[in-house]
Amino acid sequence: MQQGGGSETEVTWEDQQNINKFGRLNNRFHELEVEIKVAKESNENLEDASNELILTDEDVVRFQIGEVFAHVSKDEVEARIEQMKEVTTKNLEKLEEEKDSVVAQMAELKKILYGKFNDSINLEED
Amino acid sequence: MASSSATTIASPSSSGSGITERRGIPGAQFVEDVQTYLNQLGLDVTSALAVLQERLQQYKLVEMKLLAQQRDLQAKIPDIEKCLDVVATLQAKKGTGEALVADFEVAEGIYSRASIEDSDSVCLWLGANVMLEYSCEEATALLQKNLDNAKASLEVLVADLQFLRDQVTITQVTIARVFNWDVHQRRMRLSPAVKDS
């Protein structure tokens, strides 16, 4: 938090709560960025896997379940991968939505806080 | 978290500002007015800043501990989900009568083939060198319960971390305000002296 040049703007409990909320949202934003990156990677891997599957001419594929690779028929693997892709895509959508909401709330709070404190507060990423 | 500072802050004058503590984490007192706060503490600016800084360090320590716990839980949850997956697969295979063929790791980089016959039971590793045999249904129920508990603990932990971070923010803002107030006081004391001379 930037230390201002001794300005006299008083900080009310409501201001403090807004600052706290901004902090929480900022943390959640960073967590979401990481989660979204992981979900995107997972999606890409599933895409690659399903592409490889089309290319292979084996009937039995070693599909990882838990820590072992079970011998599963190609059709079943295709179905499983499709299902996993759906789940990951839905999850990704949910995460993106949450991220948009968080960014919007942060913009609102920035307006309020900069409005009251102007230069005495710094809400940017360093 | 035992407070090591000599002054016990009995917060009377602050407004209904937040909870006083949560699961062992003391709440940070919100300061309405810096002058009143300093009088209440009976400390000068430097000592007050020192007390606040110390509080901040204590909060940071607790934060590290909670973050470590969170990482552990976040690693445990996918593990339990994988186990549930395996048990579900075994159960699905039960009806068909065919054996499940799987490649598993014997040592790093070395795999071997296993043929898992139809079975009604699985063994679950419970920790502390204990492994018990369960029927597939019981195993699923146990693993599901563990998963639910882990997820619930994680939620509580996340809420704790949020509370902690709020207290850190309040303390940081208080430090900035005390510092600014001091700068302001010094300026006010200097300017009349300059005018007079």
- Report the distance separating Cα B33 and Cα B177, nearest Å: 9
Q: Is the CB of residue A73 less than 8 Å away from at least one CB of chain B?
A: no
Mutant choice from A2, A9, A18, A20 vs B, greatest count of B C-beta within 10 A: A20
In angstroms, the CA B184 to CA B188 distance is 6
pLDDT of A7 reads 56
**Amino acid B16: pLDDT:** 47
Are A2 and B17 an interchain contact pair (Cβ–Cβ within 8 Å)?
A: no
The residue whose two tokens read 């007015």 is: B33
In a domain, A66, yes or no: yes
Q: Which pLDDT value is given to residue B18?
A: 64
pLDDT tens readout for residues B112-121: 999 988 888 8
What is the 3-state secondary structure of B133-158?
EEEHHHHHHHHHHHHHHHHHHHHHHH
**Alpha-carbon span B91 to A120, nearest angstrom:** 63
Query: What residues does B115 pair with on adjacent strands?
Result: B101
Question: In 3-state terms, chain B is what percent helix, strand and coil (to 5)?
Answer: 60, 15, 20
Q: Report d(CA B177, CA B32) in Å as an integer.
A: 10
Task: Give the pTM.
Answer: 0.81
Residue A1 included in any domain: no
Q: Is residue A5 part of a domain?
A: no
Please name the member of B30, B89, B182 whose beta carbon is closest to the beta carbon of A65.
B89
Q: Which of B177, B182, B185 to mutate to test the interface with A (most CBs of A within 10 A)?
A: B177
DSSP tag of B113: E
User: What pLDDT, on a 0 to 100 scale, did the predictor assign at position B14?
Assistant: 41
CA distances in angstroms from B167 to B50, B138, B174, listed in the order given = 17, 44, 10
C-alpha to C-alpha distance for A15 and A17, rounded to whole angstroms: 5
Q: Is residue A7 domain-resident?
A: no
| Residue among A1, A3, A7, A13 with most chain B CBs within 10 A, to mutate | A13
ipTM of the complex, rounded to two decimals: 0.82
State which residues of chain B have pLDDT below 70. Answer: 1-19, 193-197
Give the C-alpha separation, A77 to A64, whole Å.
Answer: 10
| 3-state SS, residue B45 | helix
Q: Is residue A107 part of a domain?
A: yes
3-state secondary structure of B104: strand
At residue B11, the pLDDT reads 39
Q: What's the structural domain count of chain A?
A: 1
Domain harbouring A53, CATH code: 1.10.287.370
| Separation CA B63–CA B79 (nearest Å) | 25
What is the predicted pLDDT for the residue at B44? 87
- What is the secondary structure of chain A as a DSSP string? ----SS------HHHHHHHHHHHHHHHHHHHHHHHHHHHHHHHHHHHHHHHHHHH---SEEEEEETTEEEEEEHHHHHHHHHHHHHHHHHHHHHHHHHHHHHHHHHHHHHHHHHHHHGGG---S--
Structural domain containing residue A39: 13-118
Q: Answer whether residue A33 is part of any domain.
A: yes
Q: What's the pLDDT tens digit per position in B60-99?
A: 999 999 999 999 999 999 999 999 998 988 888 887 878 8
Q: Indicate yes or no: CB of A19 within 8 angstroms of CB of B169.
A: yes
Is residue A57 in a domain?
yes
With contacts defined as CB-CB under 8 Å, which chain B residues touch A67? Answer: 82, 104-105
User: Is residue A124 assigned to a domain?
Assistant: no
Identify whether the C-beta of residue B103 lies closer than 8 Å to the C-beta of residue B112: yes
Residue whose C-alpha is closest to residue A7's, from B30, B180, B33 = B180
Using a CB–CB cutoff of 8 Å, tell me whether B125 touches chain A: no
Encode chain A (126 residues) as per-residue pLDDT tens digits. 444 444 567 889 999 999 999 999 999 999 999 999 999 999 999 999 999 999 988 888 999 988 889 998 999 899 999 999 999 999 999 999 999 999 999 999 999 999 998 888 888 886
